[in-house]
Chains A and B, each alone.
Chain A
Amino acid sequence: MAKVIVYPLTSTILADLVERMGHEALVVPTEVRKKIASTSVDSPPLNVTPDDPKKGLKWAAVDVPSGVRGRMAIVGPLIEEAEAAIIVDDPGCLTGCSGCNRTNELVTLLIRTKGIPVLETSYPTDESEAREFVCKIRTFLEGLK
Protein backbone atom coordinates (compact mmCIF):
# COMPACT_ATOMS: atom_id res chain seq x y z
CA MET A 1 0.00 0.00 0.00
CA ALA A 2 1.47 3.31 -1.10
CA LYS A 3 0.69 6.79 0.15
CA VAL A 4 -0.63 8.69 -2.85
CA ILE A 5 -1.10 12.43 -2.82
CA VAL A 6 -3.87 13.66 -5.09
CA TYR A 7 -4.25 17.06 -6.71
CA PRO A 8 -6.80 18.72 -6.34
CA LEU A 9 -6.11 18.05 -2.70
CA THR A 10 -9.80 17.78 -1.83
CA SER A 11 -10.89 15.71 -4.84
CA THR A 12 -13.62 13.17 -4.12
CA ILE A 13 -13.07 11.24 -7.34
CA LEU A 14 -9.32 10.86 -6.98
CA ALA A 15 -9.38 10.09 -3.24
CA ASP A 16 -12.11 7.49 -3.81
CA LEU A 17 -10.28 5.80 -6.71
CA VAL A 18 -7.04 5.65 -4.72
CA GLU A 19 -8.75 4.13 -1.64
CA ARG A 20 -10.83 1.81 -3.84
CA MET A 21 -7.64 0.40 -5.34
CA GLY A 22 -6.08 -0.36 -1.96
CA HIS A 23 -3.80 2.61 -1.39
CA GLU A 24 -3.88 5.47 1.09
CA ALA A 25 -4.97 8.84 -0.30
CA LEU A 26 -3.20 11.83 1.21
CA VAL A 27 -5.80 14.59 1.30
CA VAL A 28 -6.22 17.88 3.11
CA PRO A 29 -9.18 16.84 5.34
CA THR A 30 -6.98 14.32 7.17
CA GLU A 31 -4.54 17.11 8.04
CA VAL A 32 -7.39 19.44 9.01
CA ARG A 33 -8.78 16.70 11.28
CA LYS A 34 -5.42 16.43 13.09
CA LYS A 35 -5.33 20.19 13.41
CA ILE A 36 -8.78 20.62 14.88
CA ALA A 37 -8.30 17.66 17.19
CA SER A 38 -5.04 18.98 18.60
CA THR A 39 -5.33 22.75 18.63
CA SER A 40 -8.22 25.11 19.10
CA VAL A 41 -9.51 26.75 15.95
CA ASP A 42 -12.16 29.15 17.10
CA SER A 43 -12.66 31.45 14.17
CA PRO A 44 -13.57 29.55 11.02
CA PRO A 45 -13.05 29.79 8.12
CA LEU A 46 -9.78 31.27 9.36
CA ASN A 47 -8.17 27.96 10.24
CA VAL A 48 -4.65 29.31 10.05
CA THR A 49 -3.08 29.84 13.44
CA PRO A 50 -0.28 32.38 13.90
CA ASP A 51 2.26 29.55 14.00
CA ASP A 52 1.33 28.16 10.59
CA PRO A 53 2.97 30.83 8.42
CA LYS A 54 6.16 30.16 10.38
CA LYS A 55 5.91 26.41 9.71
CA GLY A 56 5.28 27.21 6.04
CA LEU A 57 8.75 28.78 5.82
CA LYS A 58 10.06 25.28 5.25
CA TRP A 59 8.48 25.27 1.77
CA ALA A 60 8.13 28.94 0.87
CA ALA A 61 10.38 31.96 1.30
CA VAL A 62 9.67 34.68 3.86
CA ASP A 63 8.62 37.17 1.19
CA VAL A 64 5.89 34.80 -0.02
CA PRO A 65 2.43 35.89 1.23
CA SER A 66 1.48 34.46 4.62
CA GLY A 67 -1.64 32.90 3.04
CA VAL A 68 0.57 30.69 0.89
CA ARG A 69 2.81 29.81 3.84
CA GLY A 70 -0.21 29.08 6.03
CA ARG A 71 -1.63 26.73 3.41
CA MET A 72 1.77 25.08 2.97
CA ALA A 73 1.82 24.32 6.70
CA ILE A 74 -1.07 21.94 5.98
CA VAL A 75 -0.12 20.69 2.52
CA GLY A 76 3.67 20.53 3.00
CA PRO A 77 3.67 17.53 5.39
CA LEU A 78 1.44 15.65 2.92
CA ILE A 79 3.92 16.23 0.09
CA GLU A 80 6.78 15.05 2.31
CA GLU A 81 4.86 11.88 3.17
CA ALA A 82 3.84 11.08 -0.42
CA GLU A 83 5.24 8.04 -2.24
CA ALA A 84 3.33 8.70 -5.48
CA ALA A 85 1.07 11.39 -6.90
CA ILE A 86 -1.87 11.89 -9.21
CA ILE A 87 -2.22 15.38 -10.62
CA VAL A 88 -5.22 16.57 -12.59
CA ASP A 89 -4.08 19.42 -14.80
CA ASP A 90 -5.99 22.66 -14.89
CA PRO A 91 -9.15 21.50 -13.12
CA GLY A 92 -10.59 25.00 -13.36
CA CYS A 93 -12.21 24.77 -9.94
CA LEU A 94 -9.39 25.71 -7.62
CA THR A 95 -9.29 29.44 -8.05
CA GLY A 96 -11.74 31.97 -6.72
CA CYS A 97 -12.54 33.56 -3.39
CA SER A 98 -11.57 30.52 -1.35
CA GLY A 99 -8.67 29.26 -3.47
CA CYS A 100 -5.07 30.33 -3.91
CA ASN A 101 -3.48 29.78 -7.28
CA ARG A 102 0.04 30.55 -6.04
CA THR A 103 -0.25 27.76 -3.45
CA ASN A 104 -1.56 25.43 -6.15
CA GLU A 105 1.41 26.23 -8.40
CA LEU A 106 3.85 25.68 -5.54
CA VAL A 107 2.18 22.39 -4.55
CA THR A 108 2.32 20.96 -8.08
CA LEU A 109 5.92 22.14 -8.48
CA LEU A 110 7.00 20.48 -5.23
CA ILE A 111 5.25 17.24 -6.19
CA ARG A 112 6.78 17.20 -9.67
CA THR A 113 10.29 17.89 -8.40
CA LYS A 114 10.15 15.42 -5.53
CA GLY A 115 11.17 12.49 -7.71
CA ILE A 116 8.20 10.22 -6.95
CA PRO A 117 6.06 8.50 -9.63
CA VAL A 118 3.55 11.06 -10.89
CA LEU A 119 0.50 10.52 -13.09
CA GLU A 120 -0.70 13.65 -14.82
CA THR A 121 -4.11 13.59 -16.43
CA SER A 122 -7.16 15.77 -16.91
CA TYR A 123 -10.79 15.44 -15.87
CA PRO A 124 -12.97 13.57 -18.38
CA THR A 125 -15.61 15.34 -20.41
CA ASP A 126 -17.26 12.32 -22.06
CA GLU A 127 -17.65 8.58 -21.58
CA SER A 128 -14.60 7.48 -23.55
CA GLU A 129 -12.41 9.98 -21.71
CA ALA A 130 -13.83 8.74 -18.41
CA ARG A 131 -12.90 5.15 -19.30
CA GLU A 132 -9.42 6.27 -20.23
CA PHE A 133 -9.20 8.31 -17.00
CA VAL A 134 -10.14 5.34 -14.79
CA CYS A 135 -7.97 2.94 -16.80
CA LYS A 136 -4.91 5.22 -16.52
CA ILE A 137 -5.34 5.63 -12.78
CA ARG A 138 -5.87 1.89 -12.24
CA THR A 139 -2.78 1.00 -14.28
CA PHE A 140 -0.72 3.61 -12.42
CA LEU A 141 -1.88 2.45 -8.99
CA GLU A 142 -1.42 -1.23 -9.81
CA GLY A 143 2.15 -0.43 -10.80
CA LEU A 144 2.81 0.89 -7.28
CA LYS A 145 2.10 -2.43 -5.56
Chain B
Amino acid sequence: MRLTKYIITSPESDIMPSDIAMKIYGSNYDINVKETCFGIIINGEEEAISELLKEIRAMDPNGIFIKDRGFPPGDPRRCRGRRGGGPRPGFYMIEYESKMLPLISKALASEGETKAVVRPPKKKPLDLEKLEAIITTELS
Protein backbone atom coordinates (compact mmCIF):
# COMPACT_ATOMS: atom_id res chain seq x y z
CA MET B 1 0.00 0.00 0.00
CA ARG B 2 1.32 3.42 -0.89
CA LEU B 3 1.60 5.88 1.98
CA THR B 4 2.02 9.63 2.06
CA LYS B 5 3.75 11.34 4.97
CA TYR B 6 4.49 14.89 5.97
CA ILE B 7 7.97 15.47 7.36
CA ILE B 8 7.90 18.79 9.16
CA THR B 9 11.04 20.44 10.48
CA SER B 10 11.03 22.62 13.57
CA PRO B 11 11.74 26.27 12.64
CA GLU B 12 14.79 26.15 14.95
CA SER B 13 16.17 22.88 13.57
CA ASP B 14 19.51 22.92 11.73
CA ILE B 15 18.04 20.57 9.15
CA MET B 16 16.42 22.21 6.14
CA PRO B 17 13.69 20.55 4.06
CA SER B 18 16.17 20.52 1.16
CA ASP B 19 18.63 18.48 3.29
CA ILE B 20 15.99 15.83 3.81
CA ALA B 21 15.07 15.88 0.12
CA MET B 22 18.74 15.45 -0.87
CA LYS B 23 19.05 12.50 1.50
CA ILE B 24 16.05 10.85 -0.13
CA TYR B 25 17.36 11.57 -3.65
CA GLY B 26 20.62 9.93 -2.62
CA SER B 27 18.93 6.85 -1.20
CA ASN B 28 17.97 3.74 -3.15
CA TYR B 29 14.31 3.99 -2.28
CA ASP B 30 11.68 4.55 -4.94
CA ILE B 31 9.94 7.49 -3.34
CA ASN B 32 8.28 10.64 -4.64
CA VAL B 33 9.37 13.82 -2.86
CA LYS B 34 7.82 17.26 -2.81
CA GLU B 35 9.48 20.12 -0.99
CA THR B 36 7.32 22.67 0.79
CA CYS B 37 8.00 25.70 2.95
CA PHE B 38 7.49 23.76 6.19
CA GLY B 39 9.08 20.43 5.27
CA ILE B 40 8.55 17.80 2.66
CA ILE B 41 5.87 15.39 1.52
CA ILE B 42 6.92 11.87 0.60
CA ASN B 43 4.96 9.14 -1.11
CA GLY B 44 5.94 5.51 -1.61
CA GLU B 45 5.41 1.91 -0.63
CA GLU B 46 4.84 1.25 3.08
CA GLU B 47 8.05 -0.79 3.64
CA ALA B 48 10.28 1.76 1.93
CA ILE B 49 8.65 4.65 3.77
CA SER B 50 9.03 3.05 7.20
CA GLU B 51 12.72 2.29 6.59
CA LEU B 52 13.39 5.75 5.24
CA LEU B 53 11.58 7.49 8.10
CA LYS B 54 13.98 5.90 10.60
CA GLU B 55 16.94 7.35 8.67
CA ILE B 56 15.31 10.76 8.33
CA ARG B 57 14.36 10.95 11.99
CA ALA B 58 17.96 10.10 12.92
CA MET B 59 19.08 13.34 11.16
CA ASP B 60 17.53 15.37 13.99
CA PRO B 61 15.57 13.15 16.39
CA ASN B 62 14.07 16.05 18.29
CA GLY B 63 13.56 18.54 15.47
CA ILE B 64 11.78 16.45 12.86
CA PHE B 65 8.09 15.67 13.18
CA ILE B 66 6.20 13.20 11.03
CA LYS B 67 2.53 12.73 10.34
CA ASP B 68 0.25 11.03 7.84
CA ARG B 69 -1.33 12.66 4.83
CA GLY B 70 -4.37 11.33 3.00
CA PHE B 71 -3.78 12.65 -0.52
CA PRO B 72 -0.55 11.96 -2.45
CA PRO B 73 1.66 14.98 -3.31
CA GLY B 74 0.47 16.92 -6.33
CA ASP B 75 -2.91 15.18 -6.33
CA PRO B 76 -5.14 17.26 -8.65
CA ARG B 77 -7.95 17.02 -6.11
CA ARG B 78 -5.85 18.86 -3.53
CA CYS B 79 -3.06 20.64 -5.42
CA ARG B 80 -3.36 24.42 -5.28
CA GLY B 81 -2.04 24.68 -8.82
CA ARG B 82 -5.26 23.11 -10.10
CA ARG B 83 -7.54 24.94 -7.70
CA GLY B 84 -6.56 28.48 -8.55
CA GLY B 85 -4.20 29.09 -5.62
CA GLY B 86 -5.07 29.99 -2.03
CA PRO B 87 -3.99 28.21 1.13
CA ARG B 88 -4.03 24.45 1.03
CA PRO B 89 -6.78 22.93 3.19
CA GLY B 90 -5.06 21.63 6.30
CA PHE B 91 -2.24 24.15 6.26
CA TYR B 92 -3.78 26.14 9.12
CA MET B 93 -3.26 23.28 11.56
CA ILE B 94 0.37 22.86 10.50
CA GLU B 95 0.92 26.61 10.78
CA TYR B 96 -0.68 26.70 14.24
CA GLU B 97 1.41 23.81 15.54
CA SER B 98 4.67 24.80 13.85
CA LYS B 99 4.92 27.74 16.25
CA MET B 100 5.04 25.22 19.09
CA LEU B 101 7.55 22.85 17.51
CA PRO B 102 10.66 24.59 18.95
CA LEU B 103 9.19 24.21 22.46
CA ILE B 104 8.43 20.54 21.89
CA SER B 105 11.91 19.97 20.40
CA LYS B 106 13.54 21.50 23.48
CA ALA B 107 11.30 19.45 25.76
CA LEU B 108 12.19 16.24 23.92
CA ALA B 109 15.90 17.14 24.02
CA SER B 110 15.83 17.78 27.75
CA GLU B 111 13.74 14.72 28.59
CA GLY B 112 16.67 12.89 30.16
CA GLU B 113 17.28 15.73 32.52
CA THR B 114 13.63 16.48 33.17
CA LYS B 115 13.06 17.27 36.79
CA ALA B 116 9.71 17.38 38.46
CA VAL B 117 8.08 20.58 37.34
CA VAL B 118 7.16 22.65 40.35
CA ARG B 119 4.17 24.80 39.58
CA PRO B 120 2.58 27.24 41.99
CA PRO B 121 -0.79 25.91 43.11
CA LYS B 122 -3.73 27.41 41.25
CA LYS B 123 -5.63 30.03 43.16
CA LYS B 124 -8.99 28.79 44.33
CA PRO B 125 -12.04 31.05 44.45
CA LEU B 126 -12.64 32.58 47.86
CA ASP B 127 -14.80 30.50 50.14
CA LEU B 128 -18.29 32.00 50.48
CA GLU B 129 -18.25 31.94 54.28
CA LYS B 130 -14.88 33.69 54.38
CA LEU B 131 -16.18 36.34 51.96
CA GLU B 132 -19.20 36.89 54.19
CA ALA B 133 -16.93 37.24 57.22
CA ILE B 134 -14.73 39.78 55.37
CA ILE B 135 -17.76 41.80 54.29
CA THR B 136 -19.16 41.75 57.82
CA THR B 137 -15.89 42.92 59.40
CA GLU B 138 -15.21 45.56 56.72
CA LEU B 139 -18.67 47.06 56.80
CA SER B 140 -19.26 46.92 60.52
Q: Does A130 contact B (CB under 8 A)?
A: yes
- Whether B70 pairs with A131 at a CB distance below 8 angstroms is no
Binding site secondary structure of chain B: mixed
Contact of B111 among A32, A41, A128, A135 (CB under 8 A): A135
Which chain B residues border A123 with CB–CB below 8 Å? 100
Q: Closest CB of chain B to A126's CB: distance in Å?
A: 7
Shortest 7 CB-CB contacts between residues of A and residues of B: A32-B70, A130-B103, A130-B107, A29-B68, A44-B77, A93-B96, A29-B70
CA distance A130 to B8 in the complex (A): 18
- Whether B70 pairs with A35 at a CB distance below 8 angstroms is yes
- Whether B67 pairs with A131 at a CB distance below 8 angstroms is no
A134-B111, A135-B117 given; name 6 further pairs at CB < 8 Å.
A12-B98, A29-B69, A93-B96, A130-B103, A131-B107, A133-B107
Contact of B117 among A19, A32, A93, A132 (CB under 8 A): A132
CA distance A19 to B65 in the complex (A): 10
Q: When A8-B93, A13-B104, A93-B96 are in contact, do A131 and B68 touch as well, CB less than 8 Å?
A: no
Q: When A32-B71, A36-B71 are in contact, do A12 and B77 touch as well, CB less than 8 Å?
A: no
Tell me the count of chain A residues lying within 8 A, CB to CB, of chain B.
41
- Whether B114 pairs with A10 at a CB distance below 8 angstroms is no
Chain A interface residues toward B at CB < 8 A: 8, 10-13, 15-17, 19, 25, 27-33, 35-37, 41-42, 44-45, 91, 93, 96, 98, 123-124, 126-135, 138
- Whether B8 pairs with A33 at a CB distance below 8 angstroms is no
Q: Closest CB of chain A to B112's CB: distance in Å?
A: 12
Interface residues on B, range: 35 or more
Per-position 1/0 for B63-107, Cβ under 8 A of A: 001111111000101100001000001101110111011011011
Q: Does B108 contact A (CB under 8 A)?
A: yes
Which chain B residues border A12 with CB–CB below 8 Å? 6, 8, 65, 67, 93-94, 97-98
